[in-house]
Chains A and B, each alone.
Chain A
């Protein structure tokens, strides 16, 4: 139930972000919001992605506005997500002020890939891998496919880890704590990717299990899984896979 809800929510967000990306290609949106008395958030869409400037400040609101504008003007959204922190201070007349800002640049492709990973990309990859295995390709072909998929999966894992890292910087976790967590998230992501590739591409497959629910279909002649009701391919018998290399 929770999985289904999460999938639907992520799918909806993916569609919304695709629409937003298309819209941003034709129009620039500038949005400013004062979250509390001393916190200003500025958002600007660019053809490549989103620019978000988060400012905590003291003094007049014109100072963070000026800083946000200069940060937005200074650089365009890059191909990869980035987060940078800046400190500005000075004095206007008799009063002193400071502005502490975080500039987040979020390309749309990274947002879409990250949102679509769980509801779309993982099921599509798993489906593709199952199709490849069912074609009874030699195991070396499966290794080659795994090798081709590794860079893409690494980029997705890197995006997820980078978002965790951004979140930590946003919350204000110090550098000495953030760095070991970065290493740990990357290592966990690598282990998960290897497990996925092994399970779907390289490891041994029990063809007599239902693809949907894993029910043991040995001796099944009806062509329908009695557990989940999924219809099976006509060739779903152990004999049809006996000749696989």
Chain B
């Protein structure tokens, strides 16, 4: 029981960390453009989405940041896409999706913990002022 609760606690804080990181990148890349150019792979963060390019055929020059292009201001809600240009492959992943998936799971984990602190999951008996398990009403180890 204690081990399960501890695991859930670790999971939910990992979820919070993921949400903070992906949310920060999402907000930052709708204000600035930044990208990484490597020898085989390149990543561009702009307009609320992440574009990954394989086989860039460009000189690797590491990380770079620059202000958003005035003409390219799109909605911060984009859609996933995969395109190929000759030998290079471009994958566009919108960051609201990367933020949303862990966010939903983290909210669920938080809500589950809150209920575990208050009520029995089987008979909804209120645990206020009592040990958590077993439930004094139905005997359930939730």
A202 to B104, CA, bound (A): 13
Task: Report, nearest first, the 6 A-B pairs whose CB atoms are least far apart.
Answer: A80-B79, A194-B107, A182-B76, A165-B75, A175-B73, A194-B104
Assess whether A203 is in contact with B77, with CB atoms less than 8 Å apart: no
Assess whether B111 is in contact with A154, with CB atoms less than 8 Å apart: no
Assess whether B115 is in contact with A158, with CB atoms less than 8 Å apart: no
Q: List 30 A-B contacts (CB under 8 A).
A: A81-B79, A150-B101, A150-B104, A150-B105, A151-B101, A154-B101, A154-B104, A158-B79, A158-B94, A158-B96, A158-B100, A165-B76, A175-B73, A179-B76, A182-B48, A182-B76, A182-B77, A183-B26, A183-B27, A183-B76, A186-B77, A187-B103, A189-B100, A190-B104, A190-B107, A197-B104, A198-B108, A198-B112, A202-B108, A242-B138
Closest chain B residue to A185 by CB distance?
B77
Given known contacts A150-B104, A154-B97, A182-B75, A204 and B124 CB-to-CB distance under 8 angstroms: yes
Assess whether A169 is in contact with B75, with CB atoms less than 8 Å apart: yes
What distance in Å separates the Cβ of A169 from its nearest Cβ neighbour in chain B?
7
User: Does any Cβ of B come within 8 Å of A193's Cβ?
Assistant: yes
Inter-chain residue pair count (beta carbon < 8 A):
83
Contact flags B13-47 to A (C-beta < 8 A → 1, else 0)? 00000000000001100100000000000000000
Assess whether B103 is in contact with A190, with CB atoms less than 8 Å apart: yes
Assess whether B30 is in contact with A179, with CB atoms less than 8 Å apart: yes
Given known contacts A154-B104, A179-B76, A183-B27, A198 and B119 CB-to-CB distance under 8 angstroms: no
User: Does any Cβ of A come within 8 Å of B121's Cβ?
Assistant: yes
Given known contacts A190-B107, A203-B111, A204-B115, A162 and B97 CB-to-CB distance under 8 angstroms: no
Interface size class of A (residues with CB under 8 A): 35 or more
User: Does any Cβ of A come within 8 Å of B9's Cβ?
Assistant: no
What distance in Å separates the Cβ of B30 from its nearest Cβ neighbour in chain A?
6
Closest chain B residue to A147 by CB distance?
B105
Option from A157, A169, A175, A204 in Cβ contact (under 8 Å) with B122? A204
8 Å CB interface, A176-232 against B: 178-179, 182-183, 186-187, 189-191, 193-194, 197-198, 202-204, 206
8 Å CB interface, B90-126 against A: 94, 96-97, 99-101, 103-105, 107-108, 111-112, 115, 119-122, 124
Assess whether B77 is in contact with A206, with CB atoms less than 8 Å apart: no
Assess whether B111 is in contact with A198, with CB atoms less than 8 Å apart: yes
User: Does any Cβ of B come within 8 Å of A244's Cβ?
Assistant: yes
A244 to B99, CA, bound (A): 34
Option from A147, A150, A178, A202 in Cβ contact (under 8 Å) with B75? A178
Closest chain B residue to A169 by CB distance?
B75
User: Does any Cβ of B come within 8 Å of A55's Cβ?
Assistant: no
What distance in Å separates the Cβ of B12 from its nearest Cβ neighbour in chain A?
13
Closest chain A residue to B103 by CB distance?
A190
What distance in Å separates the Cβ of A108 from its nearest Cβ neighbour in chain B?
16
A203 to B124, CA, bound (A): 10
A169 to B77, CA, bound (A): 13
User: Does any Cβ of B come within 8 Å of A77's Cβ?
Assistant: no
Known: A165-B77, A202-B112. 18 other contacts (CB 8 A): A150-B105, A158-B97, A161-B96, A165-B76, A182-B76, A183-B76, A186-B100, A190-B100, A191-B107, A193-B104, A197-B104, A198-B108, A202-B111, A203-B115, A204-B119, A204-B120, A204-B121, A242-B138
